Structure 1
Amino acid sequence: MPSALVTGGSSGIGLAIARMLRDEGHALTLAARKLERLEEAAAELGATAVAADVQHEEDCARLVKTHLETHGGLDVLVNSAGVGIAGMIGDTTTKHFDLQQAVNLRGAFIVTREALPALREAKGYVVNLASIAGTIPTPGLATYGAAKAAVISLTRSLAREEAAAGVRVTAICPGFVDTPMASWTGLEAEQMIQPEDCAEIVRSLLRLSPAARVPLVVIERAGDDV
């Protein structure tokens, strides 16, 4: 049975993708910081639950090790753990800047690095959740967007580096998605991209032939001017 590891898998986009992967026949490991919500999601999906904070290198390494010991390999890695803190550059503290880089970029980098040997063996797939804010100027989300732009760059370079090994990599860059992270926008749920939309993109990516490479998928919100 193929297996998948999803960080940030207890809610929002990560949970929607995990549900899709379960439906597609993958054994799952879900990772998140908040244990209660993580255990609920894992129970729903019959998944392995690993409490982990991807800011910490030791948590990232332990997460991948636990998945491999439990499932014997890794076919799909979804880096969905993320944090976004709105604020103008002049008002953003160094602490908030560092947190967004640590979770959104550094965590994805370390988990991916630790998982690469298994992904190479499986000719697997890496999905990195970036953001449309990483592709366009976004006042008020500049430091978040900077982290996500770096994720996009990391994704494109990794795709080229691992092409010969058969590992494919895609960054998904949605606009505002109906998750708790976007509650500050004041938008109604029906005005936002749905987490399941992102999951359907991933489903399509996994069904492509090995010859097809999609480095970047941008999902605009209907009604936006971008």
Structure 2
Amino acid sequence: MRSALVTGGSSGIGLAIARILREEGYALTLAARNVERLETAAHELEARTFGLDVRDEEQCRRLVAAHLETHSGLDVLVNSAGVGIAGRIGDTSTKHFDLQQSVNLRGAFLVTREALPALRESRGYVVNLASIAGTIPTPGLATYGAAKAALIALTRSLVREERETGVRATALCPAFVDTPMTTWTGLEGAEMIQPEDCAEVVRSLLRLSPAARVPLVVIERAGDDVV
């Protein structure tokens, strides 16, 4: 059976993608920091769980090893673990800057690096949850956007580096999505992109032929010029 590993898989976009992957017949490992939500999601999806802080290199190494021990391979990696802290550059603490870079960028790098040998064997797929804030100037989300812009660059370089191995990757860049992370916006849930919209994009990506390469997908919010 094909298998997938989803970080940030206990809620929001990560959980929505995990549901799609389960529908498509993938066996799952879900990783997240919130163990209670993780167990609820895993029960629904018959998934293996792994409590994970993506900032910890050893935990990332053990996560991939645990997945391979259970499933004997890896076909899809979804790096959905993330954190966003709104604030203008002049008001952002070093602590909040470092947190966003370490979770949103470093964590995805660590898990991807550890997973690459298995992904090369399966000619697998990597989905990195970036943001539209990484593609356009976004006042108030500058440091978050900087981390996501770096993640986009990492994804595009990965695509080129792995073109001979068959590993493909996409940076998914939505505008505001209806998740707990965006409650600060004041927007109604119905006004925002739904997590399931992001998941359906992932389903479509995985159904493409091996000849098709999509390094970047931007999902705009209807009627909005920015995020």
Distance 2:67 2:2 in 1: 12
Q: Which amino acid in 2 is paired with 1:201?
A: V
Where does structure 1 differ by over 3 angstroms across 4 or more consecutive aligned residues? none
Q: Which amino acid in 2 is paired with 1:76?
A: V
Structure 1 counterpart of 2:50: 50
Distance 2:209 2:124 in 1: 12
Distance 1:23 1:211 in 2: 24
Query: In the alignment, does 2:186 pair up with 1:186?
Result: yes
Structure 1 counterpart of 2:123: 123
Query: In the alignment, does 2:177 pair up with 1:177?
Result: yes
Structure 1 counterpart of 2:26: 26
Q: Which amino acid in 1 is paired with 2:120?
A: R
SS at match of 1:78: strand
Structure 2 counterpart of 1:144: 144
1:90-139 per-residue CA deviation (whole Å, 9 max, x = no partner) reads 00000000000000000000000000000000000000000000000000
SS at match of 2:164: helix
1:29-65 per-residue CA deviation (whole Å, 9 max, x = no partner) reads 0000011110000011000000010011011111101
SS at match of 1:187: coil
Report the Cα offset of residue 225 of structure 1: 1.5
SS at match of 1:87: coil
Distance 1:163 1:29 in 2: 26
Distance 1:63 1:223 in 2: 40
Structure 1 counterpart of 2:162: 162
Report the Cα offset of residue 21 of structure 1: 0.1
Structure 2 counterpart of 1:83: 83
Distance 2:78 2:225 in 1: 29
Distance 1:59 1:195 in 2: 27
Distance 1:223 1:180 in 2: 22
Structure 1 counterpart of 2:153: 153
Report the Cα offset of residue 215 of structure 1: 0.4
Structure 2 counterpart of 1:97: 97
Structure 2 counterpart of 1:4: 4
Report the Cα offset of residue 85 of structure 1: 0.3
Q: Which amino acid in 2 is paired with 1:188?
A: E
SS at match of 1:164: coil
Distance 1:52 1:77 in 2: 15
Q: Which amino acid in 2 is paired with 1:94?
A: T
> Please, what is the CA RMSD of the aligned residues?
0.4
SS at match of 1:61: helix
Report the Cα offset of residue 223 of structure 1: 1.3
1:144-171 per-residue CA deviation (whole Å, 9 max, x = no partner) reads 0000000000000000000100000000
Which ranges of structure 2 fall in alignment gaps of 5 or more residues? none
Distance 2:94 2:104 in 1: 15
Task: Provide TM-score, normalisation by structure 1.
Answer: 1.00
Report the Cα offset of residue 200 of structure 1: 0.3
Q: Which amino acid in 2 is paired with 1:163?
A: R
Distance 1:201 1:11 in 2: 17
Report the Cα offset of residue 67 of structure 1: 0.3
- State the identity %: 81
Distance 2:123 2:217 in 1: 21
Task: Provide TM-score, normalisation by structure 2.
Answer: 0.99
